Amino acid sequence: MHAALASGLIFTAFLHFCFGQVPFLGPCPEMHTMSDFETNKYLGKWYEAERYFSVFEFAGKCVSANYTVGEDGRLTITNKQTSSLTGIQSTMEGEVRLEERMDSSKLNVRFPSLPVWHLAVLIDAPYWILETDYENYSVVWSCTNFGLFSTRNAWILTRARYPTLEVMEQAYGVIDRNAISRAYFIRTDQNNCPEKY
């Protein structure tokens, strides 16, 4: 029984690792998310400006995320990207859940449509909005503890496909205040993208 449980935990950790978060020694650091988060103001399209490396976004360009509320009141996310290697466009649908109270920016996201493993439907990934002004930028953090190590991811999202330097400096300010390493960020290619993206 213990062996089966241990195998399950190892497999779950493997899935989280393979979904692309960067591994670090030690537990997840303390992060302070914004208070009085307004979900309705966050809805709509965001473009990915920079991100930590992730397998499911490998060689991805033209990455965007669109947040909507369905007729059933559920918050959903639609991620789109184009492979810079093959030119193939892909879409990934996700479900967004509040981790705490209604005005919390600590969210969980799951992607039942991930094609790699059918067990992906079982995994909720932390998706914490550290800060956003709703109109220009958003800094998002994700971290999962696995005992002696943790896996981490971070994104800078912007409303404009080509954000100004001023907007990026605001986002970098959030990153620096939260002691998130800039060394792991990769700039997302947003050039020559399909109009619908």
pLDDT tens digits, 105-146? 998 888 775 554 444 444 678 899 999 999 999 999 999 888
Half-sphere CA count of 186, side-chain side, radius 13 A: 17
Residue 62 lies in a domain: yes
Beta bridge partners of 47: 64, 158
pLDDT value of position 114: 56
Tell me the CA distances in angstroms from 176 to 31, 47, 117, one per residue in order.
12, 21, 35
- 32 SS3 class: coil
CATH code of residue 167: 2.40.128.20
Q: Are 68 and 81 in contact (CB under 8 A)?
A: no
Residue 89 lies in a domain: yes
pLDDT value of position 58: 80
Nearest partner of 172 among 189, 158, 151, 188, judged by Cα = 158
Q: Are 35 and 170 in contact (CB under 8 A)?
A: no
pLDDT tens digits, 31-53? 989 988 999 999 999 999 999 98
Residue 197 lies in a domain: no
pLDDT value of position 83: 93
pLDDT at 10 over 80: no
